[in-house]
C-alpha cells in the first residue's frame, strides 16, 4: 500500500483517468476523479448535481467554490494513512490554492503533480473514439480497446456509452477551457518543485511504467 499524494493534470483525453485507475489498483491508492464525482451527483439529482449539470454538459468549468468544497470533503473522509490520486482537480489556480490550504490543515501536503502532455489533434481523435462503462466507469476505446461484447462492459456487464460531453463540439470548448484556465497550473506547480512531465502520446504501458517510477521514487524519499 502506497501513501503518496498525487495530482494528475492534463487535457481531457490525455489518459489521466485510465492511468489513475491503473496506478491506484497497483499501489493501493485512492483515485478521486472530479468528473466521475460530478457525473454521479448529476445522476443522483442532488443539489450539487443540479448546480453542476449545465456546466458539465456544455464543457465549461463548475464554479471553483462548488468543486473545491466537494473534493475537499472527499479528501477529509479518507483515512489519514491513505495515499491518493486526484484526477481532474484542481483545474484552476484558485482551486489549487484551496487544495493547498485544505491539505495544509490536514497536515498532508501534495508530493507530486504529473502533467500529461498531448497535442490537440491526438486529443480529439482519442476523445471521440472513447467510451465508458455507465456503472463501474471502466474506460474503452472503439478502435484500440473495445469491450469484448459490443457496448457491454467486460467487468460488470453494464452498458458502455459515450459521454455526452465527448461529442466533438463540446470537446472543442473543453480544450479551450483547458488551455486558458488549467494550463497555467503547470507553472504554479513547477515553481513549487512538484511537477513531473509525461509524454502522454505513447502506449499506456509505457506511461504506466514512468508513473510507477515516479511513485516509487516518492516513496523512497
Ligand atoms: P472530466 O471527466 O475530468 O473531463 O470532467 C468533466 C466535466 O466536469 C468538465 O468538463 C467540467 O465541466 C466538470 N469538472 C470536472 N472537474 C472539474 C474541476 N476541477 N473544476 C471545474 N469543473 C470540473
Residues ≥6 apart with Cβ < 8 Å to 141: 126, 129, 130, 131
> Are 42 and 134 in contact, with CB atoms under 8 Å apart?
no
Atom 13 of ligand 1: nearest residue by CA position: 56
Q: What is the pLDDT at residue 97?
A: 98
CA distance 210 to 196: 10
How confident is the model over 54-82, as a mean pLDDT? 95
User: What angle (nearest 5°) sits at the alpha carbon of residue 43, between those of residues 40 and 49?
Assistant: 75
DSSP code per residue over 75-130: HHHS-TT--EEEES---SHHHHHHHHHHHHHHT----EEEEEE--HHHHHHHHHHE
pLDDT above 60 for 53: yes
Q: Give the integer Cα–Cα distance in Å for 156 and 15.
A: 21
Locate the ligand 1 atom nearest the alpha carbon of residue 58 and give its number.
12
In this prediction, residues 8-35 reach a mean pLDDT of 95
pLDDT of res. 196: 97
Q: What percent of the chain has pLDDT over 70?
A: 99
On the question of pLDDT at 221 being above 60, the answer is yes
Grid cell digits, residue 197: 512531465
Rounded to whole angstroms, how far apart are CA atoms 86 and 189? 14
91 is catalytic: yes
* Alpha-carbon dihedral sign for residues 57, 63, 68, 69: negative
pLDDT in tens, 116-132: 999 999 999 999 999 99
| 143 part of the active site | no
* Active-site residue flag, 202: no
Residue 144 pLDDT level (bands cut at 50, 70, 90)? confident
List the helix and strand counts (H, then E) for the chain: 9, 8
Q: If you average pLDDT over residues 155-175, what whole number do you get? A: 93
d(CA 67, ligand 1 centre) in Å: 9
Say if residue 78's pLDDT is above 90: yes
Atom of ligand 1 nearest to the CA of 177: 10
29 CA to centre of ligand 1 in angstroms: 21
Asked if residue 2 has pLDDT above 70, the reply is no
Provide the pLDDT confidence category of residue 80 given band limits of 50, 70 and 90. confident
Question: Which residues does a 6 A CB cutoff place in the pocket of ligand 1?
Answer: 12, 34-35, 38, 55-56, 59-62, 67, 88-91, 95, 165, 174
Task: Name the catalytic one among 5, 22, 39, 91.
Answer: 91
Task: Tell me, in angstroms, the distance from the centre of ligand 1 to residue 19's CA.
Answer: 17
Ligand 1 mean position to 50 CA, how many Å? 14
Q: Is the pLDDT of residue 11 over 60?
A: yes
| pLDDT at residue 92 in the model | 98
Amino acid at each position: 500500500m502506497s501513501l503518496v499524494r498525487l495530482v494528475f493534470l492534463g487535457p481531457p483525453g490525455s489518459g489521466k483517468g485510465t492511468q489513475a485507475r491503473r496506478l491506484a489498483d497497483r499501489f493501493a491508492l485512492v483515485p478521486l476523479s472530479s468528473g466521475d464525482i460530478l457525473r454521479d451527483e448529476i445522476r443522483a439529482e442532488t443539489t450539487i448535481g443540479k448546480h453542476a449539470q449545465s456546466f458539465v454538459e456544455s464543457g465549461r468549468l463548475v464554479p471553483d467554490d462548488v468543486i473545491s468544497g466537494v473534493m475537499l470533503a472527499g479528501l477529509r473522509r479518507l483515512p489519514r494513512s491513505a495515499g491518493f490520486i486526484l484526477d481532474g482537480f484542481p483545474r484552476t489556480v484558485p482551486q489549487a490554492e484551496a487544495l493547498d490550504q485544505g491539505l495544509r490543515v490536514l497536515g498532508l501536503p501534495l508530493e507530486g503533480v504529473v502533467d500529461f502532455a498531448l497535442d490537440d489533434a491526438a486529443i480529439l481523435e482519442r476523445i471521440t473514439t472513447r467510451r465508458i462503462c455507465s456503472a463501474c466507469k471502466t474506460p474503452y476505446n472503439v478502435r484500440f480497446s473495445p469491450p469484448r461484447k459490443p457496448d457491454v462492459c467486460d467487468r460488470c456487464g453494464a452498458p458502455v456509452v459515450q459521454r455526452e460531453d465527448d461529442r466533438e463540439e463540446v470537446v472543442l470548448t473543453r480544450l479551450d477551457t483547458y488551455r486558458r484556465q488549467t494550463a497555467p497550473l503547470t507553472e504554479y506547480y513547477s515553481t513549487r518543485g512538484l511537477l513531473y512531465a509525461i509524454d502522454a502520446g505513447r502506449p499506456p504501458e509505457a506511461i504506466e511504467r514512468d508513473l510507477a517510477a515516479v511513485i516509487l521514487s516518492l516513496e523512497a524519499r
